[in-house]
Amino acid sequence: MASNNTRRGFDPKDERFFSNESIINLGIAQEEIQWLLDRNYKIGTVINFVGDHYLLSSRQRLALKRATATKMQYKKRKSKLLPLKKAKHGCMFIDGFNIIITLEVALSGSILILGKDGVLRDLAGLRGTYRLIDKTERALSLIGMALNKFNVPQVKFFLDEPVSNSGRLRNRILEHSKTWNIPTEVELVRNPDPILSDMERVVTGDSIILDNCSSWFNLSRKIVEDYIEDAWVVRFDKKTDDRKGS
């Protein structure tokens, strides 16, 4: 049974950590992180150095880490981004936990970070543990609505088998898919990252996969923007690519 009234990814300190004033400072910190990354400094070292300088919390550091990469990475990811009008041309391969947790966080009113690559990422940090919550059903319904909106002919989800309740989530996806009228597969694998990294037409917000896959759709962001009006989305860089992949 799904947990009721759970706010996925919620932290009561986020109102302070990501206030308007804090976001201005985080934007400055992101510029400095960007400058160092473009000069081949390692992300862990850079985050610690800049984070210590600005006295940032671990939550703020995590947000900057997930929102920032090198200019070369942004350029490469953008070049492989497919418009969603091309979703009808073949099977879509979905990083299951990634999209579902992102949508659960959005539906919970918890914070999402808009990266400089235009991708929404959460700060839930489940670390191998997952349980279905009251937002899971709605998240799956929204995915089905989007798949039908863009006339996706076939879809395959990949779930991390070692993550708790992956089997239960697989069953819920398959149950929902009966109403989508779209051929749907769900495969439990030890690690979806290397599999999706070698594929095209991928849906994920995982940076490693985005850097290595042949092509991808920014479906999570489109769903949030189209269906979750009260989603709490924070961005540090006003120059972030605003394309919705439509």
DSSP letter string, 44-101:
HHHHHHHHHHTT--HHHHHHHHHH---HHHHHHHHHHBPPGGGGGGS-EEEEHHHHHH
State the chain's mean pLDDT as an integer: 94
Is the pLDDT at 18 greater than 70, yes or no?
yes
Which alpha helices (DSSP H) does 94-154 contain, by range? 96-107, 136-149
**222-233 average pLDDT score:** 97
Regarding pTM above 0.85, the answer is: yes
Enter the tokens of residue 218. Answer: 């920014």
Residue ending a domain, choose from 24, 49, 68: 68
The answer to whether residues 150 and 223 belong to one domain is yes
One domain for residues 140 and 22: no
> What does the CA dihedral 109, 115, 121, 126 come to, rounded to 10 degrees?
-110
One domain for residues 115 and 181: yes
Q: What pLDDT was estimated at residue 237?
A: 83
Q: Look at residue 244 in the predicted model and tell me its pLDDT.
A: 42
Residues 192 and 102 in one domain: yes
Q: 140 with 18, same domain?
A: no
Q: Which residue has the tokens 């030890």?
A: 190
**Does one domain contain both 62 and 171?**
no
Same domain, 141 and 226: yes
* Overall average pLDDT of the 179-203 stretch: 97
17 in any annotated domain? yes
Nearest to 10, CA basis, from 133, 167, 118, 94: 133
Assess if residue 2 is contained within a domain. no
Residue 214 has a pLDDT of 98
| Share above pLDDT 70 across residues of the chain, in percent, rounded to a whole number | 95
53 and 81 share one domain: no
* pLDDT score of 242: 44
Residue 125: pLDDT band (50, 70, 90) is confident
Nearest to 99 by CA among 237, 23, 30, 196: 196
| Res 225 pLDDT > 80 | yes
Q: What is the pLDDT of residue 4?
A: 63
List, for residues 163-185, the tens digit of each pLDDT value: 999 999 999 999 999 999 999 99
Joined together, the tokens standing for residue 215 give 């092509």
208 domain residue, yes or no: yes
Counting the structural domains of the chain, the total is: 2
Range of the domain at 196: 73-235
Question: Is 63 exposed, middle or buried, given 0-12, 13-18 or 19+ CB atoms closer than 10 A?
Answer: buried
DSSP assignment letter at 233: E
Domain assignment of residue 165, yes or no: yes
Assigned token pair, 213: 């896959």
